[in-house]
Structure 1
Amino acid sequence: MSTVAAPSPKAKAEILTPELLAQLERLELVTRKIFRGRMKGERRSKRKGQSVEFADFRNYVAGDDLRLLDWNLYARLDKLIIKLFMEEEDLHFYTLIDASMSMDFGTPTKLEYAKQLAAALGFIGLVRGDRVRIESIGQPASYRGPVLRGRSNVWRMIKQLDEMAPGENMPLTTGVKNFCIRNPGKGIVLLISDLMDKQGYEAALRYFVSNEMDCYVIHLLSQEELQPDVKGDLKLVDCEDADEAEVTISAPLLARYQQTLAAFTRGAQEFCTRRGIHYMLANNQLPVADLVGQHLRRRGLVR
């Protein structure tokens, strides 16, 4: 369970600045799949239904609503024709944040960056009438975060994110499994994580595939991890299990580190691509506005 801290106005302002909000207002979330929502929303569905916006005609079949018959066409063509209208649906948008201790690293920390990204995408969903739920990896299967909908819930979302603190060292696979148990519905799910788990990330991501969600993975690393500026004799301590290793940093060792890191990120991308999961490697120095407005736009999550 997340450690709860009192929200501060300063933290709230840092998550969603007025400049960022102005850019987000023009965007909307997009899914490649069709999901049946629970409420009317503001997005056009590929299904036909009832609204004020005309979509198409089709021939009448037994059982159709007689109120949808076009009597003018019947008078002209002597055929029973049904008018179809564009259905509007709400979208379920889930964000799952890795709040383990490894995410409490970098400037800004990876967790701080993840919360700003979650807030930005959540804001887009809320102002478009989508159903937004934000949770973290360390929550038990019985816990279900609040479902938010509508612009009036923006500050409730920010308060929830502001209370999220590092320290949830639940294995990634267990956290994702619990998430899928408590959220069996369809929708878009965004996982923001550094994927640093000694048990691996593969089993965790398979749960998203089996849940038939439209899944995006933001593989978030800090600049210090991507380009470490260290040298000399060091003792490295794992922030999650206190495992220690004494190393001497040299040019050959840094070169091997870069090779290992490249193999790690390339493996994660290939794993996701083979399973229809959108993958993106993100640097905590990339402005969230650019990540959302450019990179995620090209990948089809927003438009």
Structure 2
Amino acid sequence: MTIEPDFLDELARFDAALNRESTALRQGDQRSPRIGEGLTFSDYRRYSPGDDTRLIDWKLFARTEEYFIKQYEAERSLTVHVLVDASASMDFGDGDAHKFEAAARLGLGVAYLTAEENNQFQFGTFRERADRLDAARSNRGELFALIDQLNELSPDGEADFERALADYAGRIGSRSLVVLLSDCLTDPEEIATGVAALARKDVDVLLVQVVAPDERDPPAVGDALFADPESEETRRSYFSGSLAERYRERLDAHVDTVSNRVTELGADHVVVDTGTEFFDAFASVWLQ
């Protein structure tokens, strides 16, 4: 792992840019629709000029062709829990597109801006269980310590969504947002069971599914040996154009199934291509 702390300074500029944009649109401090403005959906109201456009429900617009704003119950004090999948399948991708590194950077970014919003964060990884890494300080020094820990961590083993998330749910004792970052390469029903354990009246869940470019479009051509990094099972196949197309269709279907199952539970789901420029990827998570 080669996470450099410099990107935290870039995040500060990112946050400042959001504040400038907000000032141009409306009075008051900029807040993420989730962090700082409450997590519990209350009602809809029609969009009025000057409203924060990021609060528009675009899915509702697609159905009605009218602009509606999501309203949330006011809640200024919350804890944001960041959990990064550290299983072996996350040890994939080159450079900045490495899945675990990309997920860790996104999670650190969420933690950083959470602290900037004067909220508390907790940061951990999960495999068969969830392990908390932070020391409950929720400040910049804490983030530097987390970067050091993450740089020393090597993804391995298997992720057990059901066990790890059910166990973690028992540790949450206050109003919270849980941000899960994973490649979700397991049975969607197991993911849904884990998310269901977390999701309750006072807990919101955002599942960030990371996909590496070489995962979407494997560079293999012809006779190739594929290996499962978690089970170490291998399979030889002739990776032709038609097989590659079927592979992409199955991957897309898996992503859709994961999305459908967790959104049915009231959670949110966003897919991040790890080959995307970091701040574009981060914006898709922070503004979700």
**Length-normalised TM-score, structure 1:** 0.69
> Does the C-alpha gap of structure 1 residues 179 and 119 become closer, same or farther in structure 2, counting only changes over 3 Å?
same
Higher relative contact order (CA 8 A, sep 6+): 1
> Does the C-alpha gap of structure 1 residues 29 and 22 become closer, same or farther in structure 2, counting only changes over 3 Å?
same
Aligned residue in 2 for 1:217 = 207
Which deviates further from its counterpart, 89-98 or 214-223?
89-98
Query: Once superposed, what is the RMSD of the aligned Cα atoms?
Result: 2.7
Q: Structure 1 stretches of 5 or more lacking a match?
A: 1-6, 35-86
Tell me the secondary structure at the aligned position of residue 230 of structure 2.
Answer: coil
Tell me the secondary structure at the aligned position of residue 217 of structure 1.
Answer: strand
2:270 equivalent to 1:283: no
> Does the C-alpha gap of structure 1 residues 160 and 29 become closer, same or farther in structure 2, counting only changes over 3 Å?
farther
2:96 equivalent to 1:106: no
Q: Is the 8 A contact 2:208 2:285 kept in 1?
A: no
Identical counterparts, % of pairs: 19
Q: How many residues align?
A: 237
Which deviates further from its counterpart, 159-168 or 180-189?
159-168
Aligned residue in 2 for 1:119 = 108
> Does the C-alpha gap of structure 1 residues 145 and 120 become closer, same or farther in structure 2, counting only changes over 3 Å?
closer
> Does the C-alpha gap of structure 1 residues 196 and 211 become closer, same or farther in structure 2, counting only changes over 3 Å?
farther
Which residue of the other structure, out of 159, 180, 191, is the alignment partner of 1:201?
Answer: 191
How far apart, in 2, do the equivalents of 1:155 and 1:121 lie? 14
Query: In the TM superposition, what is the alpha-carbon distance from 1:261 to its structure 2 partner?
Result: 1.0
Which residue of the other structure, out of 14, 27, 48, is the alignment partner of 1:23?
Answer: 14
Q: Is the 8 A contact 2:110 2:286 kept in 1?
A: no
Q: Is the 8 A contact 1:132 1:149 kept in 2?
A: yes
How far apart, in 2, do the equivalents of 1:13 and 1:297 lie? 19
2:259 equivalent to 1:269: yes
Q: How is 1:136-147 mapped onto 2 (pairs within 5 angstroms)? A: 136-138=125-127, 140=129, 145-147=134-136
Q: Is the 8 A contact 2:210 2:274 kept in 1?
A: yes
Which deviates further from its counterpart, 171-180 or 136-145?
136-145
Which residue of the other structure, out of 154, 157, 165, is the alignment partner of 2:146?
Answer: 157
Q: Structure 2 stretches of 5 or more lacking a match?
A: 19-30, 41-73
How far apart, in 2, do the equivalents of 1:112 and 1:196 lie? 17
Q: Is the 8 A contact 1:133 1:145 kept in 2?
A: yes
- Give 2:99's aligned amino acid: K
